[in-house]
Amino acid sequence: MEPVIDLRHASVYQQMNLVLDNVTLTIHPGEFAYLIGKVGTGKTSLLKTLYAELPLRDGEGWIAGFDLKKMKSRDVPRLRRKIGMVFQDFQLLEDRSVFQNLAFVLGATGWKEKHIIKKRVSEVLDRVDLHYKDDKLPHQLSGGEQQRVVIARALLNDPEIILADEPTGNLDPDTSEELMRLLISISRSGRAILMATHDYNMIRKFPSRTVRCESGRLDPVEPSQNYFDFEKLMRT
């Protein structure tokens, strides 16, 4: 099975500053992986490189069949249709309903037939159990519900992978756990998920492969390390 992410000896830059060097990372369809590390160690820069907001200057890298080293600006919209992105700060249009938020994204990515758009929006809202909130404005939803809308948005174009940057960061523990169960069920349907997080309680409850940004490197975390080890790692 071909990997959906394949980085080989890649370097990750933020402007002219090298933040991660010699990165090798492979993620296959249906795999769920955590990305951890202290603030400023390169987690977000790595995600931005993967969705082509930052260029890959050194090494090799592929995501969803696209060669990041050869990426042209005209290719970026096509790449992003194959990637679902979930952020901590929702980024919903506050003056539009849930349905309108999702329909807008489909329209912006080339969907034209209104009845097909309506059907697809209904499908993804069913997937995140929010079909009954399609007429609500974002401010009428709880934080957990808003994040479910964000996940629905990420699923619209049937992506091969979801990149999630601290998706539980603004949520209470119970809501975070519900969201994690949803993300894991999505990965089991065949989509890869790479999730940057500081929520080590969720890692303890839902253990999975984990990689850590530290000292300019991306290294695997041994499965034997427990929740308290993670906290210790982040203090050092």
Query: For 196-223, how does the pLDDT look when each residue is reduced to its tens digit (9 = 90+)?
Result: 998 888 899 999 999 999 999 999 997 6
pLDDT (0 to 100) of residue 227: 47
- Across 127-216, the runs of DSSP E, i.e. the strands, are 161-165, 192-196, 209-214
Range of the domain at 214: 1-82+162-169+191-236
Distances (CA, A) of 157 to 40, 85, 99, 111: 31, 11, 15, 10
pLDDT (0 to 100) of residue 110: 87
- In a 13 Å sphere around the CA of 78, the CA atoms on its Cβ side amount to 9
Domains in the chain, number:
1
Domain presence at residue 143: no
The CATH number linked to 75 is 3.40.50.300
Whole-structure pTM value? 0.90
- Tell me, what DSSP letter sits at residue 222? P
Q: Do 87 and 165 touch, CB atoms closer than 8 A?
A: yes
Give the sign of the dihedral formed by CA 49, CA 169, CA 209, CA 124: negative
Q: Which of 123, 130, 142 is nearest to 98 (CA)?
A: 130
Residue 236 pLDDT grade (very low, low, confident, very high; cuts 50, 70, 90): very low
Domain presence at residue 184: no
Domain presence at residue 93: no
